[in-house]
Structure 1
Amino acid sequence: MATRSASSKNSTYILSLPLFFLLLFFPSLSLSISSNVTYDGRSLFISGRRRIIISASIHYPRSVPAMWPGLVEAAKEGGVDAIETYVFWNGHEPSPGNYYFEDRFDLVKFAKIVRDAGLYMILRIGPFVAAEWNYGGVPVWLHYVPGTTFRTNDEPFKKHMERFTKYIVDMMKHERLFASQGGHIILAQIENEYGDIEKVYGDGGKPYAMWAASMALSQDIGVPWIMCQQYDAPDNVINTCNSFYCDQFTPNSPNKPKIWTENWPGWFQTFGATNPHRPPEDIAFSVARFFQKGGTVQNYYMYHGGTNFGRTAGGPFITTSYDYDAPIDEYGLVRQPKWGHLKELHNAIKQCENILLFGNSALINFGPLQEANIYTDHSGGCSAFLSNMDEEKDKLIVFQNKSYSLPPWSVSILPDCKNVAFNTAKVKTQTSVIEMIDEKLQSSEGWSIFKEKVGIWGNPDFVKNELVDHINTTKDSTDYLWYTTSFDIKGGEKISKQSLLMVESKGHAAHVFVNGKLQASGYGNGTEIKFNLTTPVTLKPGRNDLALLSMTVGLPNAGPFYEWVGAGPTSVKISGLTSRTLDLSSHSWAYKIGLEGEHLSLFSPYGNGDLNWKMYSQPPIKQPLMWYKIIVDTPKGDDPIGLDMQHMGKGLAWLNGYPVGRYWPRKSSPNDKCTTTCNYRGKFFPDKCRTGCGQPTQRWYHVPRSWFQPTGKNTLVIFEETGGDPTKIIFARRQTKNF
């Protein structure tokens, strides 16, 4: 067992001496569940035994430590063998050399919970992860190291990437968590989605990919390294597949097993869009086909999606919820029938495991879209997978003198080549419906209010005769950047009633204030972050003040040179003056990074901000730039809790100083394509099954139970940008009803 030093900054890892000597002289006392991991073209060998592995992605920072044991146990009960997680570099190294592994980022604690549950672990170190996570997991500060371009052969990037990777490897080794040390980590991934590197970076990507593989292999961890979507990975690195379907995936070498790193049981959400779903029948079909065609390791991405707490969501415009329509929902409750249907699938596959791994295979075609893969061993054992890939029609086939009816788009699993243990299209598991039970905020105290100033608070951070890039200015220290200027309208100049303010922006969002009043807001969306805002404005003779509150809504997490994608206004003009269109783009602009309330740490229950709050029995409503604070009781019972924000505009929320995240009940278009039922048959894609047209993409925001005080009062803080009614905020208890 390893212990950490008290200093999270230095994070030095040492073996505790008593347990070290016990392991040295009595190695059988180790909680080992494996000893070494090798592979050939058929499968992994774990402790000398061939294994089929069904894995589940659970990202430790997207839940909280109090939830981890329950999530892992629910995955295990669902028939899972391993837990997979990324390692989130920007969460662990917020500034160069300053490491953090506490609370939601306690990677070692999470790993040991997985180990103690008797499950394997797949560690995807990255350090680029994509994952709809801010900047794809790469620290923002690295972009500002001279000579750095992410995911290329640039020396500064490679230097920092190697240092962090080694840090994680050394941490896991000191904790004796790799299988070669008697631990449970059976695979480690370096980087992510290499296929995209070569497409995007061309000649600059391939050398980096090969360097990363070489660097990883130099780490003495004793388990195989994998590379996601690197189709020409080095001989001693296993390339893997990411997709909705990987049954036809073939490794680049016949000596490597088929590994599916990401089978997507749903999809992520973006603010202002409808909600995607993937039917359990289709997920089961894809998994069954993968193992039917010789697959060996299959991982659900995600099995529990969780929550993008605080400002961790990427995108831009990825929602705070990362539910992913996963078998375990965002709040930690199993989603039926998906969880149960997959559990039955896993059980059927495991009944075939020995024959699949040691038997001989044969293929029989019954038609253009019907086939069987049969596995037999020397002792007479037999298992079969019967597939019907027709999207419309049932098919009756005769297999070994017996008739089998196959529904459209389905696989039947016959562990004994006679009896159907499972058919992917036949859902027998109970269905559950989620209910959010309202519980009003209970408080014996009134509201505290802080009014955020429009524009510059204190002194400007700097002044320039240009519009600066938002991200390069804030370096993601905050979502907010004020752009302020003033202009004069001469006495003889007429002002049209149709005066228009025109703002062009690279994204992501902006609020426009003229002479202290909110005039309009503009937003990009999940497919086009740029936007143009044209709004009527009321001007006056003499001096007019213009303030733009520019906002980011999560930084890009993937794509071509994504760290160079900017944000913020690029052009500001006013029309409707009698003799001119006023171009303010090159005016003198004063800038302020962040909000005064952020500077005062109003979100912290331990800060010095109490002197800045004013008490109200009833808070002002529908006013922009308002901070609200209320002391609330802990909701009754032990159900998971969501914060209902449907009557608010846009902003941030905290409970007892913990960052709930961005809220924005932005509605999708009522004209979007939604379905009341979802046809599981045929190839799946994210827009196939959508719900919630004309509704807020996200109404409820997960507040973990462990964040509440068990017996006392809780401090809820809200920053509202555009105006809402905080008296209508309610807690809701999340419950499931089975039928």
Structure 2
Amino acid sequence: MECSKRSSLLALVLVSLCCLASSTDISHDGRALKINGERRIIISGAIHYPRSTPEMWPDLLRKAKEGGLDTIETYIFWNGHEPRRREYYFEGNYDVIRFFKEIQNAGLYAILRIGPYVCAEWDYGSTLAMVTIAIILHPIIQTVQNSGQKIGLAGNLKQPKWGHLKELHAALKSMEKSLTYGEVNNTDFGNGVAATKFSYNATVSGCFLSNANQSSDATLEYQGTKYFLPAWSVSILPDCKQEVYNTAKVTTQTSIMVKKPNKANDEASDLKWSWRPETLGSSVRGLGGNFTENKLLEQIITAVDESDYLWYMTSVDISHKQQMTLRVNTTGHVLHAFVNGQLVGSQYGPNGNWVFVFERTAKFKAGKNHISLLSVTVGLKNYGARYELEPAGIVSGPVQLIGGNITIDLSTNAWSYKIGLDGEKTKVYLDNPDRKWYSGIIPTQRPFTWYKVLMLYCDAT
């Protein structure tokens, strides 16, 4: 049923996108992509729509186009579109249809990366996705270059990279016919120096001269002309005569960093901070759980991208009042432990070593005692072999109480689970006149506190 619902939603998105596109034939003949039967060089760059506002999209697209791109590619960020099972969101900076309309308005092609996986310093992508659909949809174009960020998140140009790559894109586009239709001939001059010539119809040609030596420059005489090739560089000659571009020769504008006095502390002192405590009452008393299992669950799968916080809550009967050690084996990354509503300790895994053992002594009363463990993740691995199998949270434990010669294993207790903090549920970060925020002296080193400040940001570029 879930697969069917997701398939229907994907189909709705794709139909909406298809309505934006005119009838265009897209194919590939083993040499290049073909648009309406013509081989093309397509140069693309990524703009991730959730990372900027809809008002910023037109300007970002304009700068991308000015930089020589003709295609924009983006992931579909499913954990934003489906924050909870069967609850879908396509508004604001998640309005992907509007984003693709802006791409079309800019006269650009687009690559739609349906996912669900997102490899972009993003918290997974949608661990809930049950189906991936492969389609041919105009305009879907092959990315031919991955050259890093050229435009900042605020829309400022990263110079000299933006200008340098703009020149590269123009040089490649000027050679489109010879590169996609020409016959290829390679000449090796030794010591890492080589020439590659693309010849088309005996009249159109383009050449690349390369120096693969990483430490020594070279001078190459080619077809009667001498060319200087810096170490580890490629020169582009669209007519096989005049060099118009070299990867190591940067001639474009460079952003200049001006060192100014550090006024950060002065500016920070002028900021108007306010704060409010996180509401912990029900969670630390073991109440408000979403569901119960007789085992310790893995956090990523259980929280399903809804939050980086997961409560593990249980209770245990103790025969008499005593002090006992609470021991928790966790794959973290952070653990806060409460006994009968009182914080008994916090711990995190240092230096990226997330597997650790939490041990604290706490007072237990005779009768029923409540234990609440708040597990926190602070970033998840998104590459490498079998990364998706690396666990987080208090998966399997064990969780134990140790007093004298007695060890009580709570791992198979009835554990109640609650996803997220109260402030996340109530959207504490939004303005609400009924919500009390405190000003004046701002408490520091106070656990479970929300802080708020109004900052004005100006992009001087």
TM-score category (smaller protein): 0.7 to 0.9
Name the CA distance, whole Å, in 2 between partners of 1:127 and 1:593. 22
| CA distance 1:397–1:12, shift in 2 (3 Å) | closer
Q: 1:102 aligns with which of 91, 104, 126?
A: 91
3-state SS of the aligned residue for 2:53?
coil
The question of whether the paired residues in 2 share the 8 Å contact of 1:437 and 1:735 is answered with no
Partner residue, 1:594: 420
Query: For 1:394, which of 217, 237, 260 is the aligned residue?
Result: 217
| Alignment pair present for 1:478 and 2:303 | no
Contact 2:296 2:412 in 1 (8 A): yes
Report the TM-score, using the length of structure 2 for normalisation: 0.79
Q: For residue 70 of structure 2, what is the amino acid of its counterpart? A: D
Aligned to 2:373: 548
- Aligned equivalent of 1:373, options 190, 196, 213: 196
Aligned 8 A contact 1:84 1:299 in 2: no
Alpha-carbon deviations, 1:429-452, whole Å to 9, x = none?
A: 2332578985558778x7352343
Residue 40 (structure 2) aligns with: 51
Contact 1:374/1:385 (<8 A) preserved: yes
- Residues 1:487 and 1:400: Cα distance change in structure 2 (over 3 Å): farther
Q: Deviations over 1:247-275 (max 9, x none)?
A: xxxxxxxxxxxx5x4xxxxxxxxxxxxxx
The residue aligned with 2:65 is: 76
Q: Name the structure 2 match of 1:364.
A: 187
Alpha-carbon offset, residue 68 of structure 1? 0.7
Compared with structure 1, are the counterparts of its residues 89 and 514 closer, same or farther at alpha carbon in structure 2 (3 Å cutoff)? closer
Structure-2 change in CA distance of 1:623 and 1:406 (3 Å): same
Per-residue deviation at 1:387?
A: 0.8
Indicate whether 1:505 and 2:327 are aligned: no
Distance (whole Å) between structure 1 residues aligned to residue 72 and residue 233 of structure 2: 27
**Aligned AA (1:459):** L
Aligned CA distance change for structure 1 residues 96 and 627 (closer, same or farther; 3 Å): closer
Distance 2:190 2:318 in 1: 79
Quote the Cα distance in structure 1 between the aligned partners of 2:116 and 2:422. 34
SS in 2 for 1:53: coil
| 3-state SS, counterpart of residue 467 of structure 1 | coil
Pick one of 462, 469, 472 that aligns with 2:298.
469
Q: Which has the larger radius of gyration?
A: 2
Offset of 1:361 from its aligned partner?
A: 2.3
Q: Give the superposition deviation at 1:54.
A: 1.0
Structure 2: gaps (5+ residues): 1-8
Q: Residue in 2 aligned with 1:567?
A: 392
Hey, what does 2:49 align to over in structure 1?
Answer: 60
Deviates more, 1:481-490 or 1:415-424: 481-490
In 2, Cα distance between equivalents of 1:12 and 1:128? 17
Identical aligned pairs, as a percentage?
40
Please name the residue that 1:519 is paired with.
345
1:101–1:587 CA distance, 2 compared to 1 (3 A): closer
Q: Residues 112 and 506 (structure 1 numbering): CA distance in 2 closer, same or farther, change over 3 Å?
A: same
8 A Cα contact 2:127 2:301, kept in partner: no
Letter in 1 for 2:44: S
Contact 1:502 1:532 in 2 (8 A): no
Alignment counterpart, residue 426 of structure 1, candidates 231, 236, 249:
249
Contact 2:178/2:200 (<8 A) preserved: yes
Structure 1 runs not aligned, ≥5 long = 1-7, 21-29, 143-156, 173-177, 179-184, 188-258, 262-297, 303-325, 636-640, 642-732
Answer whether contact 1:94 1:139 (CA < 8 A) is retained. no
CA contact (8 A) 1:510 1:522 kept: yes
Equivalence for 2:5: none
Spell out, residue by residue over 1:332-384, the C-alpha distance to the aligned partner (whole angstroms, 9 max, x if none). Answer: 21111211211121122223223323333211110152210012333534321
- Given candidates 144, 150, 157, the residue that maps to 1:327 is 150
CA distance in 1, matches of 2:14, 2:424: 34
How far, CA to CA, are the matches of 2:21 and 2:364 in structure 1?
A: 78
- Once residues 14 and 243 of structure 2 are traced to their aligned partners in structure 1, the CA distance between those partners, rounded to angstroms, is 52
Shift of 1:399: 0.8
Matches for 1:122-201 after TM superposition, within 5 Å: 122-135=111-124, 137-138=125-126, 140=128, 142=129, 157=130, 160-162=131-133, 178=138, 185-187=139-141
Residue by residue over 1:79-120, the C-alpha shift from the partner in whole angstroms, topping out at 9 and shown as x without a partner, is: 112111223344434566654332212222111211222222
Deviation of 1:624 (Å): 0.4
One-letter amino acid of the counterpart of residue 347, structure 1: A
1:131 CA drift (Å): 4.2
1:532 to 342, 350, 356: 356
Q: Check conservation: 1:467, 1:586, Cα contact below 8 A.
A: yes
Counterpart Cα distance in 2 of 1:9 and 1:359: 40
The answer to whether 1:452 aligns with 2:279 is: yes
| Number of residue pairs the alignment of both structures matches | 438
Q: Is the 8 A contact 1:348 1:421 kept in 2?
A: yes
Q: How does 1:673-688 map to 2 (within 5 A)?
A: none
